[in-house]
Amino acid sequence: MSGWSASEFRRWNEAAQSCFVGRRAERGQLQEAWAAARAGSRQVRFVGGEPGAGKSRLLAQLAADLGSDDATVLAGTCPSTLGSPYEPFVAPVAAMRTAIADGALPLDGAARSGPPQPGSSQARHPPDAQAVAGTVALLDTVAGERPAGRASRRDLLDAVVASVRSAAAVEPLVLLLDDVHWAGETAWELLSHLVEQTAGLPLLLVAAQRSTATDRTAHLVHHVAALYRLDGVRRIDLPPLAADDVEEYLVQEAKVPAALARAVAADVHGRTGGNAYFMRELVQTLSARGPAGFVRPDGPTPPSVQDAVEARLGLLAPGARPTVELAAVIGDVVHTDLLVTTGAAPPEEVLGHLDAALDAHLLEPVDEMVTAVRFRHAIAREVVLGAIPSARRTALHLRVARALEARGARSAAAVARVAHHFEAAHLLGHRAEAVRYLRLAAVLTAEGLAHDEAADLYERAAAVDDDRARADDAVLLAARERMLNGAFVRSRKLAERIASDVRSAHRLRAAVQYEDANWRTNVVAGRSVALLRGALEAAGERADQDVERPDIEQQDVAQQDEELEVRAQAGLGRALSFDGQEEQGRPLVEDALVRARALGGDELLKEALVASLVLGNAITDADVKLGRAVELTERCRRTHDLWRLGPAAAYRTLMGYQRGDAAVVQAARADLRLVVEGTQEFQFDYFSGCADFSRHVAAGRLERAARASEALLETGRTLESDAHVGPDGQFGVQQFVLHRESGRLEDVRGLLTGDEDLGERWAPGLLALYTELGMHDAARRALWWLIDSGTTGSSPGTRAGVLTFLSDAAVTLGDVEAGRHVRAELAPYAGLNIMFGSLVSSMGSADRYLGSLDALLGTGDWEADFERAEEMDRRMGARLHVAHTLAAHALAHVRTGTDGWCDVGTLAAEARDIATAVGSQRVLRMLDGVAGLDGGPARRPAGLTEREVEVLRLVAQGLSNREIARSLVISGNTAANHVRSILLKTGCENRTRAARYASTHGLLD
């Protein structure tokens, strides 16, 4: 043990002094993990099991095993109630914080000491005195000693990582975290971040958790499942002890003669089911009777864990049980002086009761001076609490609350403890105290950036508050905290409850909160529109009936009411625009902007600017939207507002791509990364991932795009969304784009008949598949079904992307009438890049599609269209889009029979070179239509591409798919896809017939 290790380790060390049996396989797995960790490969083991399985005891034994093995062991645990949001990290962090502050632990690179500065470099800097002080301050926030101030959640997480790095740099580090099933969302985010950022450290992290259904919280399952994808993360499940283990325990711990132990072990094992805690309790009960207890084990023994604890309570003197019950009410850790203060008996009697409970093995000391005690197992405390009559338990909570209140609580955790006990006693007439302390705890918790836990506290305050207006206020504060934590669905549900209540004084504010959470989830905004309209109308009627107030108060209220009305108006305009009613929504948002500027103040104007970013998709809107996003960015930077910088950066990315301004995109994406780091708001991380995917596709980096898409699917599933909304739709579009480019759509040909019900499926997707697979009749049916139903039926976010599918189909089919409809729809996008959704995928320049349509229609200057598209593609570094534009340009000449001023062969040759380099089978297939003009080979039979002819020649030589892949330097899956496509196109049943086909058609030369 190093000199600065946490004092909490004493508990683990003492626990390891008792007999430990069994678990040989599990201890072996942990020792293997330790060996890997010492070698510099961070290892994580989640130890799971039922209550009483021996998880904590296994961790204690591991601490004892490794504590003398050149390791620093830090340990923390989660209490079942009243814990800090950052438990179980509080004790380990406190140990490292003290050592860093005292200089005993050199800081190996400091965390940021202040809030992230938009636009500034975040490079690490040497740990000078100021940086060390900044890191210590951040660790104080994690420990609950001070508010975060301007620091971000990422700052806090990075400070813990920096401390762990420092500890591991001195000697290999073991971090033991017990009872993590009781950890909150904030602690799980910290644990996940720590694991993700420490892959190359000599660190072993072992976390124990209950595996029973009632203890498997949603965030536990979600975070643990996400971590399993990382190297070095494994699970160890503890099965029941075996009968041989019980026999060993009887001999070593209970000192039962070996022969007798062998005779009764099976019976003890059968009674306890191999549960380690129950076995220990039962053996201690039998031991209390002396040898006769084991000679006649069928006597009166506890049939369950609960009965075992009750039996232990029965050993106490009659007056001692109330003291133990009081201890259970106080919490997991019970300070002796608090127990004495709140006890009903004189102090000396309470101390006597405490000694008796320690002797009966119900409680154990936390330190040598017995300044605090704890129950030997959480099960024991649960049993004692469950046996206390409700009225008595309530009275005990009140007694504890008053004692804690008299001491004065300052930290968030201390205030939360007072709040918890007053809340439990509110039925005794202490609602006001419960509400006051719950709300104060929520404020302090939010200041520590633990938004999820702060929301829980606000909701608890609302539940016990009999003041209707104040309770509604608490619910809306909870909704805001949920939104700040990315829980948009839960935020909406809380706000809707108030917004739909015609009696609530906070109805308009709730409607604003509902819409603010809703638009971020891309859910249809009809409910937002209804709630806002109803609340605005009611607010107007109430304003007409307001009574006179003193002038100053009247002025303040009027100002607040007007600001809320502006927010509501901006939100209503945004909701209408999301619902495709922009002609109604735009005037509302524009007027809200004017009113916000007139009222003054950054907060109101920033909200109005955020709302204005959804307006308009035409080229005439792009400059205005970009200007507003830039103004919003500047205001957010000045006020360190990362929450609203996110939408500003996202829309700057969209507008930069749409306008073809690579510099704007690059700067905006840097801000997005800053927002993700600073706020941990993963919807911005998801959007940034979409931008990465689109960038890779445009540049022709298809393998990197595929990896980005897979990562996005995982990220998307971490976001809280409605049951019918998720990342699968976006993932499907991305996979279609990738498969279309790589020529792998043939895999789904057998799943399509051409007669699919267009009303039951996503018709644009079917149209794109039919078009690419050459199913022309089905494509024509889907194309006109979409035209007749109106392409404007698509959501504003996907409409432009869908139009590219319609354009491709009309041109491929040579359908002039359909082309005329699509051309009119696409016209407003001239001069812009088109994206599918919010950069779910980049589709290239609109002018490329307009050029193909103009060539089809024989109207307009399609040569100029293609020239503008090519200039856009090259400016953006979009290599694959350049190839598509060149190929479409060349095809337009071939289809129209005109040479114009272009060298069609040069266009096709460059397109072929790019497509070959990036692996775009789609472009190569398009170039079959201009075969020979680019100096390339003539058009091949059955629509075979040049790559497929290469593969077919190797098939004819008798090569396997693996040998073909090795010869052409492609993957085995790609080789298999090529062979499958060849068989489908040529109608051959097998490879032998395909070889004959190649010979017959002269493809082997």
User: Worst-scoring range by mean pLDDT, 222-226, 475-479, 539-543, 798-802?
Assistant: 539-543
CA atoms 740, 745, 748, 750: torsion sign: positive
Give the model's pLDDT for residue 543.
Answer: 61
Output the CA–CA distances (angstroms, integers) from residue 360 to 272, 321, 335, 344, 357, in the order listed. 20, 12, 19, 21, 5
Give the model's pLDDT for residue 490.
Answer: 92
Give the model's pLDDT for residue 162.
Answer: 93
Name the residue among 409, 412, 406, 435 with its Cα closest to residue 422.
Answer: 435
pLDDT for 548 beyond 70: no
Average pLDDT rounded to a whole number, residues 338-361: 90
**pLDDT tens-digit series, residues 298-326:** 555 566 777 877 877 887 888 899 999 99
User: Worst-scoring range by mean pLDDT, 17-31, 52-66, 291-305, 918-932?
Assistant: 291-305
Confidence of residue 17 (pLDDT cuts 50, 70, 90): low
Give the model's pLDDT for residue 726.
Answer: 56
Contact indicator for 107, 162 with CB cutoff of 8 Å: yes
Confidence of residue 110 (pLDDT cuts 50, 70, 90): very low
pLDDT for 6 beyond 50: no
Confidence of residue 556 (pLDDT cuts 50, 70, 90): low
Contact indicator for 174, 62 with CB cutoff of 8 Å: yes
**pLDDT tens-digit series, residues 847-863:** 999 999 999 999 989 99
At 656, give phi and psi (nearest 5°): -65, -45
Confidence of residue 13 (pLDDT cuts 50, 70, 90): low
**pLDDT tens-digit series, residues 142-156:** 988 888 888 888 889
Question: Comparing 729 with 184, which gets the higher pLDDT?
Answer: 184
Give the model's pLDDT for residue 906.
Answer: 86
**Nearest-angstrom CA–CA distance, 916 and 435:** 69
Confidence of residue 687 (pLDDT cuts 50, 70, 90): confident
Contact indicator for 453, 186 with CB cutoff of 8 Å: yes
pLDDT for 229 beyond 90: no
Contact indicator for 220, 181 with CB cutoff of 8 Å: yes
Helices (H), ranges, 228-332? 243-252, 258-272, 276-287, 292-295, 305-314, 320-330
Average pLDDT rounded to a whole number, residues 231-250: 92
Confidence of residue 793 (pLDDT cuts 50, 70, 90): very low
Confidence of residue 797 (pLDDT cuts 50, 70, 90): low
What rounded mean pLDDT belongs to the chain? Answer: 86
**Nearest-angstrom CA–CA distance, 827 and 662:** 23
Residue 255 token pair: 């000192």
Name the residue among 594, 655, 592, 596 with its Cα closest to residue 621.
Answer: 655
Name the residue among 873, 817, 821 with its Cα closest to residue 846.
Answer: 873
Average pLDDT rounded to a whole number, residues 376-384: 84
Confidence of residue 867 (pLDDT cuts 50, 70, 90): very high
Give the model's pLDDT for residue 124.
Answer: 45
Average pLDDT rounded to a whole number, residues 979-990: 84
SS3 content of the chain, % helix, strand, coil (to 5): 65, 5, 30
Give the model's pLDDT for residue 122.
Answer: 44
Give the model's pLDDT for residue 8.
Answer: 46
**What is residue 621's three-state secondary structure?**
helix
User: Worst-scoring range by mean pLDDT, 128-132, 585-589, 828-832, 858-862?
Assistant: 128-132
Give the model's pLDDT for residue 39.
Answer: 93
pLDDT for 209 beyond 50: yes
User: Worst-scoring range by mean pLDDT, 286-295, 573-582, 870-879, 895-904?
Assistant: 286-295
Give the model's pLDDT for residue 510.
Answer: 96
In a 10 Å sphere around its CB, with 0-12 CB exposed, 13-18 middle and 19+ buried, how is residue 510 labelled?
A: buried
Name the residue among 812, 779, 787, 785 with its Cα closest to residue 929.
Answer: 812
**pLDDT tens-digit series, residues 607-630:** 999 999 988 766 677 788 889 999
Output the CA–CA distances (angstroms, integers) from residue 882 to 367, 705, 876, 930, in the order listed. 72, 17, 10, 17
Which residues is 375 bridged to in the sheet? Answer: 363
Give the model's pLDDT for residue 498.
Answer: 96
**pLDDT tens-digit series, residues 361-375:** 888 888 888 899 988
Average pLDDT rounded to a whole number, residues 765-773: 92
Average pLDDT rounded to a whole number, residues 72-97: 89
Confidence of residue 889 (pLDDT cuts 50, 70, 90): very high
Strand order in the sheet with 363-365: 333-335, 372-375, 363-365
Contact indicator for 948, 982 with CB cutoff of 8 Å: yes
User: Worst-scoring range by mean pLDDT, 43-57, 65-79, 661-675?
Assistant: 65-79
**pLDDT tens-digit series, residues 753-763:** 999 998 888 89
Give the model's pLDDT for residue 192.
Answer: 92
**Nearest-angstrom CA–CA distance, 35 and 18:** 25
Question: Comparing 186 with 977, which gets the higher pLDDT?
Answer: 186
**Nearest-angstrom CA–CA distance, 284 and 297:** 12
**Nearest-angstrom CA–CA distance, 690 and 228:** 24
Give the model's pLDDT for residue 102.
Answer: 87
pLDDT for 139 beyond 80: yes
pLDDT for 792 beyond 60: no
The angle formed by the CA atoms of residues 340, 341 and 344, to the nearest 5 degrees, is 75
**Nearest-angstrom CA–CA distance, 736 and 1004:** 33
Give the model's pLDDT for residue 278.
Answer: 84
pLDDT for 542 beyond 90: no
Question: Comparing 409 with 175, which gets the higher pLDDT?
Answer: 175
**What is residue 774's three-state secondary structure?**
coil
pLDDT for 133 beyond 80: yes
The H or E element spanning position 236 is: strand 233-237
**Nearest-angstrom CA–CA distance, 974 and 355:** 74
